[in-house]
């Protein structure tokens, strides 16, 4: 009897992707079996062209346990083709193979030469661009005139075409410089929003593929595209300057048709396309959009619409070199939140609280209004303590406001912006004569549609809230690219994601999403190897950095640029993704070479090249410790009481020099590991040797004989301990010093961005588990639970973003970076940690001493659902663990005993006191 089956078949992390650009896609599956201790002993996988039935690839019967990311090595795949694939497997439990499990995927345009279409640019008046310097931005300087005046409308593009037969399959490939929505015969091609997403457009512009078979028909058809400024031409990232890539928008599409009778044809964007200004007076990602309902042209997307008077497209280009099939999950509407409170003030403004800081926009249904009534929706994340409106965004040109001009429709009208998004919890609506009721208004949550994979709940509500807040910040900042915050900058800061990535992997399937972002990061890497501090990076950003000074002139920075090494390693560890290591390896080498060269060429300014000793000279020629860096960014004590723009320079000054070699060493250490995984042993040996030598230099220059670092902030010490940069015989002293710093700070952390992810692990692993617990449970700022206690629904940028009296500061309330503690909750509180890539082996080591009485957590690994539930009652611990087929867990109990758990369900109870007593005995 067959005891198992292959389930959850995926290609490149997706169920049944279409438009895939990978020439050698990777296949994964999970196994299901009612029996415990199931391991795969072999598999067979086949790929066929579904139209011709041709067998493209078969693995034959392969022995082995591999079921994750099996790379295609068959005949070359063709573009725009449907491939069926099936897999069956053998296990240790039976001689018989499982039944075949089937799935399919489709390739997209695999070569730029597959494109016959042309970029088309609608007639439009280019915007006068609005450009501000970093300094303007840091100082929050406002330009004089209202920005809305200088914005331009959305653009409508339409093309008609005739199909002369029944259609079997129709795929629309489309992209834009700007953001777009496509319709076929007035039906939306898909439910994606803000396509094509944010990319480093000069190098890569993502192409969407839509299955539009159902929407085309024999006879006359129409294809319609609505185009808005998006990231290409709109106001974006730090400065909020506009037109950072270009000041005109354009689009490209190619509709590929397979007729039922076997003929193929295509419809390409070309000179037959007509354009007209759309009903949005403007639509900008930052400042919102203004839609005049009366300007909506009814029926414009239908085939028989009379387009007399529409304009021909003005510019055509056949440069398709940057077009890249989209990789990963698109942006979609993820959820809708009903308001928790609606009030109306004396001015007739309605204040709506959605109870949760989100990324998205409002959908509002209005009663019949007089045509021309102007309804305005403003957004903010936090209010003043007295409930009055407060804008927490300190920056120029980023007022998140949508404006709707009513059409006077007899049955009322509904408005949801289409080409913008906001970071908010509260909306203020003016111009609406009657208050909306709960059913009339909702907050639409937007984000990349990543599969949720984890859950965590404990007996402590505050901890649960902390976890939820991290998840919400993740959701809000994983929109096309990983951003720092969804309201002020929305930049793909490499430091932020480097810090948060491990936590992200527990909550959602982020492998494809982050792989795509890494492709942008690499595209933005400079020739000299510098990896930019954020990506995508526009031509305007490059100009800015050249003329910028101080923090504003930073192009690459310690702890930010190292994302190119750290992030692939995290993805390898969590998803067993070897390709992401391979893909990024050359970029890592280039970055490490830059660090090495700079180290050899430059000395920190406080050193005197003439009086320094030979030893110092040798040491500093190895250490990358010059240039501007963010250091342990936003270390709390450096900000105390200062407005953000005054305080932010202090941590860089105090810690920039020491943080740089710390991350240089981290990158070297990981590069050695990565080279080994890739079978590049000789290179790994070189990295190891260089790491050893540089570590020696670091210890000489920065670690005192008493184990103390030259910096008295907590962060560098945390990192030095975490990255093994303290000699073994000084570790205890260093850890004791760190513990002292924390105690002197009232059991509170004083770690900044790059060190905070390691703080609790370091304390735990150096014998200060009790102190780690006190830092975690701390209620005074800076602490995680202070945020929870003061109403946070997402993670804040500053620990004291809301003062004890409720006064909010003008900082981001939705920065995922400090949410990195969520990974600690999964790994050390619930106790699920990867031990072999992709959780093929994992550790179960819950912290029963954390003060909790119940914890339940699950995460979906590549192999299936890992579940842990534990509880404590009357000194007895009960632990339940589910181990997915084809993986194993190592259970580490407080008694220091280790038990291997095979796949299946396990439950055990034990007396906690005697377990701890057993540890004490072992220690003694």
Minimum CB separation from ligand RAM for residue 505, in Å? 20
Minimum CB separation from ligand RAM for residue 654, in Å? 15
Minimum CB separation from ligand RAM for residue 563, in Å? 11
Residue from 65, 76, 87, 99 nearest 25 by CA: 76
Give dist(CA 496, CA 491) in Å, integer: 10
HSE, side-chain direction, 13 A CA sphere, residue 555: 20
429-to-149, 209, 523 alpha-carbon distances in Å: 21, 37, 42
At 229 the three-state DSSP class reads coil
List CB contacts of 496: < 8 A, sequence separation 6 or more. 477, 482, 483, 484, 753, 815, 816, 817
Q: Per-residue x/- mask for ligand RAM, residues 317 to 356, rule CB under 6 A?
A: ----------------------------------------
Output DSSP code: residue 830: I
The residue count of the chain comes to 924
Minimum CB separation from ligand RAM for residue 493, in Å? 4
Minimum CB separation from ligand RAM for residue 776, in Å? 23
Residues between 871 and 890 with contacts to ligand RAM, criterion CB under 6 A: none
Q: Which of 493, 540, 585, 910 binds ligand RAM (CB under 6 A)?
A: 493
Smaller CB distance to ligand RAM: residue 293 or 815?
815
HSE, side-chain direction, 13 A CA sphere, residue 408: 6
Smaller CB distance to ligand RAM: residue 163 or 554?
554
Smaller CB distance to ligand RAM: residue 494 or 717?
494
Token pair of 912 as six digits? 């906690």
Minimum CB separation from ligand RAM for residue 644, in Å? 9
HSE, side-chain direction, 13 A CA sphere, residue 11: 27
Stretch that binds ligand RAM, among 114-122, 343-351, 485-493, 513-521 (CB under 6 A): 485-493
How large is the angle between the packed helices 461-477 and 494-507, nearest 10 degrees? 120
Are 472 and 452 a contacting pair, CB within 8 Å? no
Say whether residue 633 binds ligand RAM (CB under 6 A): yes
Smaller CB distance to ligand RAM: residue 17 or 532?
532
Minimum CB separation from ligand RAM for residue 647, in Å? 12
Say whether residue 286 binds ligand RAM (CB under 6 A): no
Tokens 């029963």 correspond to 848
The string over 509-524, giving b where at least 16 C-beta atoms fall within 10 Å of a residue's C-beta and e elsewhere, is bbbbbbbbbbbbbbbb
Residue 586, burial from CB neighbour count under 10 angstroms (0-12, 13-18, 19+): exposed
Give dist(CA 857, CA 464) in Å, integer: 11
Say whether residue 436 binds ligand RAM (CB under 6 A): no
Smaller CB distance to ligand RAM: residue 495 or 661?
495
Smaller CB distance to ligand RAM: residue 489 or 845?
489
Give dist(CA 348, CA 96) in Å, integer: 73
Minimum CB separation from ligand RAM for residue 491, in Å? 7
Say whether residue 484 binds ligand RAM (CB under 6 A): yes
Residue from 860, 852, 908 nearest 880 by CA: 908
Smaller CB distance to ligand RAM: residue 258 or 489?
489
Q: Which of 215, 253, 500, 630 binds ligand RAM (CB under 6 A)?
A: 630
In SS3 terms, 579-614 reads as HHHHHHHHHHHHHHHHHHHHHHHCCCCCCCCCCCCH
Smaller CB distance to ligand RAM: residue 266 or 645?
645
Smaller CB distance to ligand RAM: residue 119 or 137?
137
Minimum CB separation from ligand RAM for residue 643, in Å? 14
Minimum CB separation from ligand RAM for residue 559, in Å? 9
Minimum CB separation from ligand RAM for residue 529, in Å? 20
Q: Per-residue x/- mask for ligand RAM, residues 788 to 827, rule CB under 6 A?
A: ---------------------------x------------
Minimum CB separation from ligand RAM for residue 570, in Å? 17
Smaller CB distance to ligand RAM: residue 13 or 633?
633
Token pair of 337 as six digits? 């939140």
Minimum CB separation from ligand RAM for residue 533, in Å? 7
Smaller CB distance to ligand RAM: residue 652 or 894?
652
How large is the angle between the packed helices 563-575 and 650-677, nearest 10 degrees? 50
Minimum CB separation from ligand RAM for residue 238, in Å? 7
Beta bridge partners of 380: 426
Residue from 219, 176, 226 nearest 198 by CA: 176
Minimum CB separation from ligand RAM for residue 69, in Å? 31
Q: Which of 496, 628, 632, 822 binds ligand RAM (CB under 6 A)?
A: 496
Smaller CB distance to ligand RAM: residue 179 or 485?
485
Residue from 621, 628, 485 nearest 558 by CA: 628
At 274 the three-state DSSP class reads strand
Minimum CB separation from ligand RAM for residue 574, in Å? 22
Beta bridge partners of 195: 180
Are 870 and 849 a contacting pair, CB within 8 Å? no
The DSSP code sequence of 860-915 is EETTEEEEEEEEEETTEEEEEEEE-TT-EEEEE-TTS-EEEE-SEEEEEEEEHHHH
H or E segment and range at residue 184? strand 179-184
Minimum CB separation from ligand RAM for residue 850, in Å? 29
Stretch that binds ligand RAM, among 488-496, 716-724, 836-844, 892-900 (CB under 6 A): 488-496
Smaller CB distance to ligand RAM: residue 279 or 656?
656
What dihedral angle (degrees, nearest 10) is formed by the CA atoms of 395, 397, 402, 407?
160
- The footprint of ligand RAM on this chain (CB under 6 A) covers a number of residues equal to 9
Smaller CB distance to ligand RAM: residue 644 or 877?
644
Smaller CB distance to ligand RAM: residue 234 or 495?
495
* Residue 102 dihedral angles phi and psi, to the nearest 5°: -110, 150
Stretch that binds ligand RAM, among 204-212, 240-248, 353-361, 481-489 (CB under 6 A): 481-489
Stretch that binds ligand RAM, among 171-179, 395-403, 482-490, 863-871 (CB under 6 A): 482-490
Minimum CB separation from ligand RAM for residue 267, in Å? 43
Say whether residue 698 binds ligand RAM (CB under 6 A): no
Say whether residue 489 binds ligand RAM (CB under 6 A): yes
Say whether residue 562 binds ligand RAM (CB under 6 A): no
Q: Which of 495, 636, 831, 884 binds ligand RAM (CB under 6 A)?
A: 495
H or E segment and range at residue 709? none
Edge-to-edge, what's the strand order for the sheet holding 26-33?
A: 4-11, 26-33, 70-71
List CB contacts of 692: < 8 A, sequence separation 6 or more. none
Residues that bind ligand RAM (CB under 6 A): 484-485, 489, 493, 495-496, 630, 633, 815
């Amino acid at each position: 009897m067959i005891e198992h089956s292959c389930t959850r078949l995926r290609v490149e992390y997706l169920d049944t992707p279409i438009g895939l650009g990978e020439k050698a896609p990777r296949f994964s599956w999970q196994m299901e079996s009612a029996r415990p201790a199931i391991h795969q002993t072999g598999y067979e996988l086949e790929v066929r062209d579904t139209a011709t039935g041709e067998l493209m690839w078969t693995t034959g019967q392969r022995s082995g346990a591999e079921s994750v990311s099996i790379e295609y090595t068959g005949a070359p795949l063709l573009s725009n083709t449907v491939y069926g694939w099936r897999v069956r497997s053998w296990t240790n439990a039976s001689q018989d193979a499982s039944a075949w499990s089937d799935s399919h995927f489709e390739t997209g345009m695999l070569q730029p030469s597959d494109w016959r279409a042309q970029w088309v640019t609608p007639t439009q008046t280019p915007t006068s661009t609005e450009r501000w310097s970093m300094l303007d931005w840091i100082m929050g300087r406002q330009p004089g005139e209202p920005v809305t005046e200088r914005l331009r409308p959305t653009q409508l593009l339409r093309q008609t075409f005739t199909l002369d037969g029944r259609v079997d399959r129709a795929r629309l490939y489309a992209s834009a410089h700007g953001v777009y929505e496509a319709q076929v015969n007035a039906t939306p091609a898909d439910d994606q929003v803000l396509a094509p997403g944010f990319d480093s457009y000069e190098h890569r512009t993502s192409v969407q593929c839509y299955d539009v078979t159902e929407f085309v028909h024999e006879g006359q058809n129409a294809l319609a595209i609505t185009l808005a400024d998006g990231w290409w031409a709109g106001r974006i990232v730090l400065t909020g300057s506009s037109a950072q890539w270009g000041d005109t928008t354009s689009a490209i599409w190619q509709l590929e048709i397979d007729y039922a009778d076997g003929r193929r044809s295509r419809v390409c964007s070309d000179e037959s396309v007509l354009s007209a200004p759309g009903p949005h007076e403007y639509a900008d990602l930052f400042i919102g959009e203004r839609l005049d309902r009366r300007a909506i042209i009814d029926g414009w997307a239908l085939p028989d619409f009379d387009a007399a008077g529409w304009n021909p497209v003005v510019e055509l280009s056949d440069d398709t070199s940057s077009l890249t099939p989209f990789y990963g999950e698109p942006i979609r509407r993820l959820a809708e939140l009903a308001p928790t409170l609606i009030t109306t003030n004396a001015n007739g403004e309605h204040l709506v609280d959605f109870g949760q800081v989100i990324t998205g926009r409002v959908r509002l249904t209005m009663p019949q209004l007089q045509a021309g009534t102007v309804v305005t929706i403003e957004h903010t994340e936090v209010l003043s303590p007295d409930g009055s409106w407060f804008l927490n965004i300190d920056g120029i040109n980023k007022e998140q406001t949508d404006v709707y001009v009513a059409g006077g429709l007899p049955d009322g009208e509904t408005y949801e912006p289409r080409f913008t998004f906001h970071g908010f919890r509260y909306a203020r609506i003016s111009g609406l004569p009657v208050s909306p009721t709960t059913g009339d208004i909702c907050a639409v949550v937007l984000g990349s549609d990543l599969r949720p994979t984890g859950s965590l709940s404990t007996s402590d509500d505050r901890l649960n809230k902390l976890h939820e807040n991290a998840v919400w910040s993740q959701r809000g900042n994983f929109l096309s690219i990983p951003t720092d915050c969804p309201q002020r900058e929305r930049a793909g800061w490499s430091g932020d994601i480097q810090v948060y990535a491990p936590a992200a992997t527990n909550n959602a399937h982020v492998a494809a999403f982050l792989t795509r972002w890494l492709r942008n990061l690499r595209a933005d890497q400079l020739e000299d190897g510098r990896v930019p501090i954020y990506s995508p990076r526009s031509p305007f950003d490059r100009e800015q950095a050249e003329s910028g000074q101080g923090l504003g002139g930073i192009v690459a920075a310690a702890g930010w640029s190292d994302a190119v090494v750290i992030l692939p390693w995290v993805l390898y560890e969590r998803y067993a993704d070897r390709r992401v290591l391979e893909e990024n390896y050359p970029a890592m080498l280039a970055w490490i070479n830059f660090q090495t060269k700079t180290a050899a060429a430059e000395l920190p300014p406080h050193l005197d090249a003439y009086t320094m000793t030979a030893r110092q000279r040798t040491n500093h020629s190895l250490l990358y410790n010059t240039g501007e860096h963010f250091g342990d960014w936003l270390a709390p004590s450096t900000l105390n009481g200062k407005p953000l723009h005054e305080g932010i320079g202090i941590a860089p000054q105090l810690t920039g020099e020491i943080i740089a070699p710390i991350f240089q060493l981290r990158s070297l250490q990981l590069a050695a590991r990565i080279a080994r995984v890739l079978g590049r042993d000789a290179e790994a040996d070189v990295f190891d040797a260089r790491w050893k030598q540089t570590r020696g230099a670091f210890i000489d220059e920065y670690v005192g004989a008493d184990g103390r670092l030259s910096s008295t902030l907590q962060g560098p010490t945390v990192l030095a301990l975490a990255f093994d940069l303290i000699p073994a015989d000084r570790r205890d002293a260093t850890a004791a010093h760190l513990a002292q710093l924390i105690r002197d700070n009232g059991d509170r952390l004083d770690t900044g961005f790059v060190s905070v992810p390691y703080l609790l692990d370091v304390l735990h692993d150096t014998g200060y588990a009790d102190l780690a617990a006190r830092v975690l449970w701390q209620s005074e700022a800076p602490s995680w639970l202070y945020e929870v206690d003061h109403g946070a629904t997402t993670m804040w940028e500053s620990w004291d973003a809301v003062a004890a009296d409720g006064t909010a500061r003008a900082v981001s309330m939705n920065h995922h970076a400090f949410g990195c503690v969520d990974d600690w909750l999964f790994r050390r509180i619930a106790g699920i940690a990867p031990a072999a890539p992709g959780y093929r082996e994992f550790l179960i080591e819950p912290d029963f001493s954390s003060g909790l009485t119940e914890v339940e957590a699950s995460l979906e690994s590549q192999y299936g659902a890992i579940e842990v539930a534990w509880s404590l009652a009357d000194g007895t611990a009960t632990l339940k663990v589910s181990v997915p087929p084809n993986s194993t867990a190592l259970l580490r109990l407080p008694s220091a005993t280790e038990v291997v758990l095979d796949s299946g369900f396990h439950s055990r109870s034990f007396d906690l006191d005697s377990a701890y007593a057993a540890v004490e005995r072992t220690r003694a």
